[in-house]
Amino acid sequence: MLRTLVMSSTYSVSEAQSNLPRLLKDAAHHSIAIRRRDETVAYLVSRRRMEAIAETLELLANPEAMKAIRAHQVGKMKFFPLSSLRNAR
């Protein structure tokens, strides 16, 4: 499932330069697109969102993680309560 990055706000490069401190505060709550001549050239995203993107990319690049995700999606993975780990010793 691919989620689209929804922009709450779009600014030109010159507007972004003039309002950078405010945009940095706003980026904590929603993503911001920066455009030059009607083309998006950059995004401002919160640190939390960027960390989530990086983590997702790491998972997508990990064959073992992807194998586990696919197994879960088709119902071939079983989950057990954490308490079962104590009983396994």
Looking at the 3D structure of the chain, how many domains does it have? Answer: 2
Quote the domain boundaries for residue 55. 46-78
pLDDT band at 8 (very low <50, low <70, confident <90, very high): low
CA distances from 40 to 4, 7, 31, 45, 63 (A): 14, 11, 13, 14, 32
Query: Do 56 and 22 lie in a common domain?
Result: no
| Phi, psi values for residue 75, rounded to 5° | 80, 20
Asked if residue 89 is part of any domain, the answer here is: no
CA distances from 19 to 11, 12, 38, 83 (A): 9, 11, 19, 52
Asked if residue 73 is part of any domain, the answer here is: yes
- Higher-pLDDT residue of 47 and 85 is 47
Task: Outline where the chain has alpha helix (H).
Answer: 13-18, 20-26, 47-60, 63-73, 83-87
Asked if residue 88 is part of any domain, the answer here is: no
Query: Do 4 and 39 lie in a common domain?
Result: yes
pLDDT band at 86 (very low <50, low <70, confident <90, very high): confident
Query: Do 12 and 41 lie in a common domain?
Result: yes
